[in-house]
């Protein structure tokens, strides 16, 4: 059985970047809630299909998300979970359906998260990410990969970023405390370079 890893962190902490590297390194699935929902939009649950909520612009209920994630984990020979559990009830459900080898929290100060997220620029054509400070394109405003225009996403404005961080604190910080209380949470300094973060995360997993 492959490693079963849970990566926690606020928006902008680097979960997506680190999860992809971990999935490649350990040969496991990168499981995100969004991908799992998109891949199973028409999966029937007793509460309806994810599509029935998504098309109305409604949040998919925990019970439906739980079933979708459970199906994704059952099909995976090891995984990195990224973006789930988002709240305490999802964390309790996860405990019922699987055993985790490592629970890692990428810790980043709020001021750093705001700087990271508001500085992100995305290619309008191919979706490649850049950053005005940390990962600048060769030519300002132009994608290195395809020459498309780099834009700031609506959810990367400071007002929206602070709202997203507020939602994270309210919903997901209790999840972090839950795993800390269980004695299984390992904190990694997410303000290091991506390579340094990866080395620390890898050390935690290899030690587990």
Q: Active-site positions?
A: 15, 86, 120, 153, 164
Q: Are 54 and 99 in contact (CB under 8 A)?
A: no
- H-only helix segments in the chain: 15-26, 33-39, 50-54, 62-74, 88-97, 110-118, 158-171, 173-181, 194-207
Burial 45-75 (b: 16+ CB within 10 A, else e): beeebbeebeeeeeebeeebbbbbbbebbee
Helices of type H across 120-172: 158-171
Cβ-based neighbours of 71, under 8 Å, separated by 6 or more: 36, 40, 43
The answer to whether 65 and 93 are in contact (CB under 8 A) is no
Q: Which of 28, 17, 39 is nearest to 79 (CA)?
A: 28
196 contacts 203 by C-beta, under 8 angstroms: no
């Amino acid at each position: 059985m492959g490693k079963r890893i849970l990566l926690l962190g606020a928006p902008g902490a680097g979960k997506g970047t680190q999860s992809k590297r971990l999935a490649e390194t350990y040969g496991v699935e990168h499981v995100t809630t969004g991908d799992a929902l998109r891949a199973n939009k028409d999966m029937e649950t007793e509460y309806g299909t994810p599509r029935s909520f998504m098309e109305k612009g409604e949040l998919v209920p925990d019970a439906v998300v739980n079933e979708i994630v459970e199906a994704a984990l059952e099909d995976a020979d090891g995984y990195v979970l990224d973006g789930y559990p988002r709240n305490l009830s999802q964390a309790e459900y996860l405990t019922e359906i699987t055993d985790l080898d490592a629970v890692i929290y990428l810790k980043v100060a709020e001021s750093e998260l705001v700087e990271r997220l508001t500085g992100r620029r995305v290619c309008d054509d191919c979706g490649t990410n850049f950053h005005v400070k940390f990962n600048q394109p060769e030519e300002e405003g132009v994608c290195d990969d395809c020459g498309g225009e780099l834009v700031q996403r609506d959810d990367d404005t400071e007002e929206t970023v602070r709202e997203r961080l507020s939602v994270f604190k309210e919903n997901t910080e209790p999840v972090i405390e839950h795993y800390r209380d269980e004695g299984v949470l390992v904190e990694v300094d997410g303000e290091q370079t991506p390579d340094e973060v990866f080395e620390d995360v890898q050390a935690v997993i290899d030690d587990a």
